Chains A and B, each alone.
Chain A
Amino acid sequence: MENDRDKLLDVQDLTVRFYTDDGVVHAVNGVSLSLAEGETLGLVGETGAGKTTTALAILGLVPSPPGKTESSATIFDRQDLRLLKESEYRKVRGNKISMIFQDPMTSLNPTMTVTEQIAEAIRNHRNITRQEAKVEAVKMLETVRIPADRAFEYPHQFSGGMKQRVVIAIALACNPKLLIADEPTTALDVTIQAQVLELMKELKNKLNTAIVMITHDLGIVSEICDKVAIMYAGEIVESGSLEQIYDNPRHPYTNGLFGSLPDIEKDVEFLSSIEGMMPDPADLPVGCKFHPRCKYARPVCSEQIPNNNEIEPGHFARCLIYEGKLPGQEVKKYV
């Protein structure tokens, strides 16, 4: 596949732990991600799978203490992020890597006009006057299709979809190489979701920004992503290209996720669901972390930790079935 030089982001074995009074919370356990310029990666998983924490760890924003971030490599744009001092990291954040937060209703400062907030993001990284920054900010708002006559209003005068567009404008203000979008459409209703996605697609093509799209919505992933990584309990259980994952999901968890989606062509009485709950990250199961909820689980699953097995070029699944440890078992598609 691609060689290391093309990689914009390369994270190896990222681990985030929170040392609390009630024990150690294993939020992210050995996540590896890589992304080329202009590529979009969908990071999919249930609530509490560690998606957001992974994103914050890339930005160096995991609160420490109690959090502790470790990895064997975190290379961004040929720069080792682990070696950066806080002041140097600040120059990366919002400039080369930006993040869109989940809830547009709360991620804007209610006491500043939207233009001021975009201008501030620009002035954090570029040495220009307040006035010039404001001009840039209004241009940026027009890029996300907010008319200039609304530019000097406050966030509470905007609808949810417009706020999210403002948030996107802030994130893109410095023309970042990597955009981390943490469930950018979850708080929006469906029609606005479609608009925001359309906008992101357009901007991605125009600016050639790489995107990490964090979501639990497989529909959004299929719309916008080139690569997919499925997260469960702080691990990536399956990863590959969009086609590989959607046409040929191999991990029981991925299949469970697809099985829980309604299919317009199939006539079923109930949607299948994955029984049980995401394990408590302070008390993860031994062996395969998914085995308590897995239909195919055998005793061996609670003893051995599965490797990240390459099933076909670029398609990985973390399941013992592909190590020949569960003879006679085969994962059924979408069930």
Chain B
Amino acid sequence: MGQTEAVRPHRKKRSLWTDAWTRMRRNRSAVIGMAMFAIILLACFLSPFYLNYETNVIQPDLEAIRQLPTERHVLGTDELGRDILNRIIWGGRTSISIALAATVFSSVLGIIIGAVAAYYGNVIDSVIMRVADVFMAIPSMLLMITLVSVMQPTASNLVIAMSVSGIPGIARIVRGQMLSVMRNEYIDAVKGMGAGSLRIVVQHALPNALSPLISQIVSSVAGEIMAISGLSFIGIGIQAPAPEWGAMLAAGRNYIRDQPYLTTFPGIAIVLTVVSLTLLGDGLRDALDPRMKR
């Protein structure tokens, strides 16, 4: 690798990230995943510009109940005559933003906790990791259900509950990565140059520990979308009349025999989002760590 680069005539700034980006663009499934997710994101987050929550999303229309897809309602209408496409788009906005928020919170806290455990080691490490073990021993769905039922099922509480159950997993991965990175000679070298603890961790250890973690984090957004849909499906997630994919599935469940499209379309929305994120995550993993491929 070093050889061929040495003879290249023109030299651009080639960081780990620009290299990864180049590799990623060559990976077809990653590009497809990225494009799919970008379209979903744009459609959902631009929805306030072309949909009106009151009239397009939650306004019942009792004359158009459970209609098959028509020109007016491209994906049909639900049991209260509301446009399913509009509700999927609006619901996606909720699901994805809650999933992203939960991922950001659990990643930030997980990274801090994992880094502290790995850097200080010994007693601090043992205590943190045992607490993490306890949390990981509880199935995450159960933990989230418990936390949400104790609090109110508001969006911010959902984010809190999902973050809490996500932290131990991230912390564990960060700790493992950090431990292996800290064994590298450049960490010794930086210590030998008189750098302080914070600089060693933030500047040198974390950036090198992070690249395997990034794909993990992207894939975990998919998991969080499943989680929020799951919580809404059992009725403790997003509350009616606000739309949410899991809640739409739950509502359409009663009509699954005669009007299967009530459940099919929200289901497809979940699948497409999760698949796009998984493709993106896999592509990121291959791009950030080329040695892992195959």
Contacts and interface: CB of A to CB of B under 8 A. Distances in A.
Nearest to B183: A106
Interface residues of B, number: 26
Contact of B195 (A106, A124, A152, A154): A124
Contact of B193 (A110, A112, A121, A153): A121
A91 to B, nearest CB: 6
Interface string B172-189: 000000000000111011
B194 A99 contact: no
Given A110-B16, A154-B15, A159-B2, 5 more contacts: A101-B185, A109-B203, A109-B208, A150-B11, A157-B6
Interface string A54-94: 00000101000000000000000000000000000011111
A49 B6 CA distance: 37
Contacts of A103: 185
A54 to B, nearest CB: 14
B194 A111 contact: no
Interface in A101-130: 101-103, 106-113, 120-121, 124-125
B192 interface: yes
A152 B13 contact: yes
B186 A93 contact: no
B196 A98 contact: no
B204 A154 contact: no
A158 B2 CA distance: 7
Contact of B15 (A99, A108, A111, A170): A111
Top 7 nearest A-B pairs (CB, nearest first) are A94-B193, A94-B194, A93-B194, A111-B207, A99-B192, A106-B185, A107-B189
Interface residues of A, number: 37
B11 A153 contact: yes
Contact of A125 (B1, B191, B194, B199): B194
A95 interface: yes
Contact of B194 (A92, A109, A156): A92
A257 to B, nearest CB: 27
Taking chain A's interface residues, is the majority helix, strand, or loop, or is none over half, making it mixed? loop
A124 B204 CA distance: 14
A102 B11 contact: no
B63 interface: no
13 contacts: A61-B191, A90-B196, A92-B194, A98-B193, A106-B186, A108-B186, A109-B204, A109-B208, A110-B208, A111-B207, A111-B208, A112-B207, A154-B15
B46 interface: no
A167 interface: yes
Contact of A157 (B5, B186, B196): B5
A209 to B, nearest CB: 15
A103 B186 CA distance: 9
A153 B174 CA distance: 27
Interface string B1-27: 110011000010111100000000000
Contacts of A170: 189, 193
Contacts of A167: 189
Contacts of A153: 11, 13-14
A150 B14 CA distance: 11
A157 B193 contact: no
Nearest to B8: A157
Which of B16, B190, B207 has the most chain A CB atoms inside 10 A of its CB? B190
